[in-house]
Amino acid sequence: MATLGMSEDERTAIERFQRDVVEPSMTSLVILYFSAAWCGPCKQLGPLLDKVAGDYAAKGVVLAKIDVDADKFLAAQFQVKSIPTVYAFFQGQPVADLTQYRSEGQVKRVLDQLLGQLPVKGPAQDLAAEVAPLIAMGEDVLAGGDAARAESIFAQIRDMDPANPAVLGGLARAMIAGGRSDEARALLDSLGEAEGKHPAIARARAALELAAAPGVDVSAEQARLDANPDDHEARFAIAQAAMASGDRDKAADELLEIVKRDRDWNDGAARARFLQMLEAAGFEDPWGRAQRRRLSALLFT
**Could you report the per-residue pLDDT of 32-41, keeping only the tens digit for each?**
999 999 999 9
From 295, 285, 277, 287, select the one nearest 209 (Cα to Cα).
277
| Other beta carbons less than 10 A from residue 289's beta carbon | 13
| pLDDT band at residue 215 under the 50/70/90 scheme | low
| pLDDT band at residue 115 under the 50/70/90 scheme | very high
Q: Is the peptide bond before 162 cis (omega within 30 degrees of 0)?
A: no
What type of residue sits at position 118?
L
* Cα 60 from chain centre: 18
Q: How far apart are CA 281 and CA 293, in angstroms?
A: 14
| Other beta carbons less than 10 A from residue 74's beta carbon | 21
DSSP count for the chain of H helices, then E strands: 15, 4
Q: How far apart are CA 199 and CA 196, in angstroms?
A: 8
What residues have CB less than 8 Å from 232, skipping those under 6 apart?
258, 261, 262, 265, 266, 270
Count Cβ atoms within 10 A of the Cβ of residue 54 and give its class: 0-12 exposed, 13-18 middle, 19 or more buried: exposed
Is a pLDDT exceeding 70 seen at residue 297? yes
Q: What is the DSSP letter of 198?
A: S
Q: Catalytic: 112? A: no
**Could you report the per-residue pLDDT of 149-171, keeping only the tens digit for each?**
999 999 999 999 998 999 999 99
Q: How far apart are CA 88 and CA 114, in angstroms?
A: 9
> Which pTM does this prediction carry?
0.61
| Other beta carbons less than 10 A from residue 214's beta carbon | 10
Q: By the 8 A CB rule, do 18 and 2 touch?
A: no
List phi, psi (to 5°) of 32: -100, 115
Q: Which of 14, 21, 29, 42 is labelled catalytic?
A: 42
Is a pLDDT exceeding 80 seen at residue 174? yes
Angle between helices 181-189 and 165-177 (to 10 degrees): 160
DSSP H/E element including 89: strand 85-90
* pLDDT, mean over the chain: 91
**Could you report the per-residue pLDDT of 180-191, keeping only the tens digit for each?**
999 999 999 999
Count Cβ atoms within 10 A of the Cβ of residue 275 and give its class: 0-12 exposed, 13-18 middle, 19 or more buried: middle
Q: Catalytic: 35? A: no
Q: Which of 39, 141, 174, 188 is labelled catalytic?
A: 39
